[in-house]
Amino acid sequence: MFAEYTASELTSIFAMQGFAGLILFSVFVLMALGLAIIFGQMGVINMAHGEFMILGAYITYLTSNVFSEYVPTLFSGYFFLAMLLAFLATFLLGALVEWAMIRHLYKRPLDTLLATWGLSLILQQLYRTVFGAREVGVTLPDWLMGSYPLTEMIEIPINGIFVMVLTLIISLGVYFMMFRSRWGCQVRAVVQNREMASAVGINTEKVDRITFALGCGIAGIAGSAFTMVGSTGPTSGQLYIVDTFLVVVFGGAQSLLGTIASAFTISQAQSTMEFFLSGSMAKVLTLLVVVGILMLRPQGLFALKIRH
Amino acid sequence: MIVLPLSMDIFRLNLIGKYLSYAFVAIGLVLCWGYGGILSLGQGVFFGLGGYCMAMFLKLEASAPENTAIQSTPGIPDFMDWNQLTALPWFWEPFNSLSFTMIAIILVPVIFAFIVSVAMFKRRVGGVYFAIITQAIAAILTILIIGQQGYTGGVNGITDLRTLKGWDIRTDEAKYILYFLCCFMLFGCLLIAQFVRKSKLGRLLVAMRDKEDRVRFSGYDVSNFKIFVFCLAAAFSAIGGAMFTLQVGFMSPTFVGIVPSIEMVIFCAVGGRLSILGAVYGTLLVNLAKTTFSESFPELWLFGLGALFIGVVLAFPDGLAGIYKTWIEPRVSRWLVTIRAMRPPLSSSTTADTRS
């Protein structure tokens, strides 16, 4: 299948697909980081994670509409406010959900799966009622449009670069919060030994609630960033939930670094194969390989060395 | 189940038959999830495989050369003709024979389940990881079926099924017979499941669910029991899928994917994950509610369904059967006891009468 391309064409194909893969990678990382906190650290299966993302996306859409309607002069900067709002909204919703549902189910992880699936159905229908069944897209400000030509054959879209920079900032932020701050230390203590943590005076309920809400908040930012590369509909969240779970599990549920590494592998594999095969076959092959590797190595790529 | 045919018209009866074919899956899930503690989110895969096997046979029969004379290559299913395939793919060939199809309906899903479960359980993958991987398998199969339109019929699935060995499955009479056949098979599966539950295997499953390590340390090979029960559940689901295809007349990827698979888990959860009979009633109830609700309030239905999941999980983890066990049964028995307590003078007098 490589025979019909020349060497220089192949290089630029790989470069272009590699870059498309990098954008996919950024999206995967943003989606998976929130889930890695909720699922990897807390052990809660949140099937409504995709719906939290979509909430972020819809809020971005609303903000962009408000800005273009009332303050068109500030339109070029709306995105930053939108991301903040998306984060706040999903953070609050996450805290509410934790209080109403999740905290009763910490001892029954498989039941969180069913309950959050119910939540995701409710949210989907809510979006359909409020925003309609059709997909919506946001208008990007001028400075995010267009692309940057690197060589004659390779062009890089600017919004892609923006998403990547955003991913980098958020990943670093999560890293510092989880591993370099007092609060992250408390989270890890609660996860490893709940009784002991509460015995030394950590308010475990509060830590749980904020951790869950923070995971949801990152999903909201992911959804907000997602509006730059695709359109949003009520059921878009469901399309990504399997991918996201696989990314987290493949990387080793408890390792944030593993999550990033597996997002990179999966996205690059998929994007490179997409050029040579049809999109659906590329996806099938990628997923098959991931499932195959998981069967051989159930703990994922980067497993924490803990005795069970 | 026996009373229903007398009181319903054929359309409703066919609908119930359709729901009952989901009940096969729910029974399998009770064994697998309720007793074994293995939650599979990919039961739709086995349902679909069974259904597709049946549908392939029926489709080949429906596209005999004389029926498909207008196509550019007569004798192959219509969707293959649309996709410029000129010969029957090799894996369709054996489905010309009914006996092979009958075996394949059970065997294909069971072999598939066996491969998956051996790979997983021998390496002690369980719980959440198992659920996510089965879900991924369901996603893969759906994408594959939709992507390979020429071989599988794509999004539309395999439609326009007419006869089974020359017997028209679309007539009212055939629907009656299929309904009873479905009930009969379901009853068989119920008995098998009950037998498994009562046997030593059933007790081991419960022990494994609660403390897997202790069972392993007692010298049992835990993974073999899990593999067996998972394959059994797959076989049940496959029978359900085949009955579904026969009664509804088509099979499509919408019954394979993630959403239907999770819905099947919900049927089981609503009925009660520890009750085999409860699973059947749960399936019937959820589906009836779904049909009636979505007929009258299509907007509200998803809200209702979502609330149902959350409510069942939070308030009634044992579902309908659990409600029955904890609320109704004790009251009924207390009520019976009071009645019996009131009766002695009466019964003693009657016995006195008979004595005299």
pLDDT digits (tens, 9 = 90+) for A82-99: 889 999 999 999 999 988
* CB atoms A101 and B139 under 8 Å: no
Checking ipTM against 0.95, whether it exceeds it is: no
Angle at CA of residue B16, ends B106 and B255, nearest 5°: 50
Distance between CA atoms of residues B25 and B231, nearest Å: 12
pLDDT at A2: 60
Task: Judge whether B160 and B81 are in contact, CB under 8 Å.
Answer: no
Q: Mean pLDDT in chain A?
A: 82
Distance between CA atoms of residues B108 and B46, nearest Å: 9
Query: Residue A183 above 70 pLDDT?
Result: yes
Distance between CA atoms of residues B288 and A20, nearest Å: 46
pLDDT at B234: 92
* A51 Cα to chain B: minimum distance (Å): 13
Within an 8 Å CB–CB cutoff, is residue A133 touching chain B?
no
The residue in chain B having the minimum alpha-carbon distance to the alpha carbon of residue A119 is B306
pLDDT at B4: 59
Distance between CA atoms of residues B26 and B34, nearest Å: 10
Q: Is residue A46 part of a domain?
A: yes
Q: What domain range includes position A56?
A: 23-139+159-241
The residue in chain A having the minimum alpha-carbon distance to the alpha carbon of residue B213 is A308
pLDDT at B110: 92
Distance between CA atoms of residues A222 and A50, nearest Å: 10
Within an 8 Å CB–CB cutoff, is residue A284 touching chain B?
yes
Contact list, B318 vs chain A (CB under 8 Å):
none
- pLDDT per residue as tens digits for the range A185-231: 888 888 878 888 888 888 888 888 988 999 999 989 888 888 877 77
State the count of interchain CB pairs (< 8 A) between A and B.
Answer: 112
Residue type, A234: P
CA dihedral B28, B23, B25, B277 (to 10 degrees): -10
Query: Residue A181 above 80 pLDDT?
Result: yes
CB count in 10 Å sphere of residue B309: 26
Tally of domains within chain A: 1
pLDDT at B352: 42
The total number of residues written for chain B in this structure: 356
pLDDT at A213: 92
Distance between CA atoms of residues B302 and B308, nearest Å: 10
Collapsing DSSP to helix, strand or coil, A149 comes out as strand
Distance separating the N- and C-terminal Cα atoms of chain A: 47
Closest Cβ opposite residue B265 in set A114, A280, A288: A114
pLDDT at A216: 92
* CB atoms A101 and B314 under 8 Å: yes
pLDDT at B173: 78
* CB atoms B147 and A291 under 8 Å: no
Task: Judge whether B57 and B101 are in contact, CB under 8 Å.
Answer: yes
Task: Work out the burial of residue B343: count CB atoms within 10 Å of its CB; fewer than 13 is exposed, 13-18 middle, 19 or more buried.
Answer: exposed
Residue type, B249: G
- Tell me, what DSSP letter sits at residue A145? S
Q: Is residue A146 part of a domain?
A: no
Within an 8 Å CB–CB cutoff, is residue A281 touching chain B?
yes
pLDDT at B349: 44
Q: Is residue A95 part of a domain?
A: yes
Distance between CA atoms of residues A293 and A28, nearest Å: 19
Beta-carbon contacts of residue A178 (< 8 Å; ≥ 6 apart):
A37, A41, A184, A187, A188, A256
What's the pTM value of the predicted model, to 2 decimals?
0.82
Q: Is residue A134 part of a domain?
A: yes
Q: Is residue A99 part of a domain?
A: yes
Q: Is residue A260 part of a domain?
A: no
Backbone angles phi, psi at B128, to 5 degrees: -60, -40
Residue ranges of chain B with per-residue pLDDT less than 70: 1-8, 66, 68-70, 165-166, 343-356
Which helix (H) or strand (E) is A242 found in, with range?
A: helix A236-251
* A117 Cα to chain B: minimum distance (Å): 7
Task: Judge whether B180 and B16 are in contact, CB under 8 Å.
Answer: no
Helices B10-29 and B172-198 cross at an angle (nearest 10°) of 20
What is chain B's Cα-based Rg?
Answer: 23
Percent of chain A exceeding pLDDT 90 equals: 7
* CB atoms B262 and A283 under 8 Å: no
* CB atoms A118 and B309 under 8 Å: yes
* CB atoms B303 and A122 under 8 Å: yes
Q: Is residue A237 part of a domain?
A: yes
Collapsing DSSP to helix, strand or coil, A123 comes out as helix
Beta-strand ranges (E) seen in chain A are 147-149, 155-157
pLDDT at B350: 44
Q: Is residue A112 part of a domain?
A: yes
Beta-carbon contacts of residue A82 (< 8 Å; ≥ 6 apart):
A59, A60, A63, A64, A224
Closest Cβ opposite residue B143 in set A124, A125, A284: A284
Closest CA to A162 of A133, A177, A141, A189: A141
Closest CA to B114 of B11, B226, B37: B226
Contact list, A273 vs chain B (CB under 8 Å):
none
Token representation of residue A273: 């194969």
Query: Residue A44 above 80 pLDDT?
Result: yes
- pLDDT per residue as tens digits for the range A150-171: 666 667 777 778 888 888 998 8
pLDDT at A3: 63
Mutate to test the interface with A, among B310, B316, B318 (most CBs of A within 10 A): B310
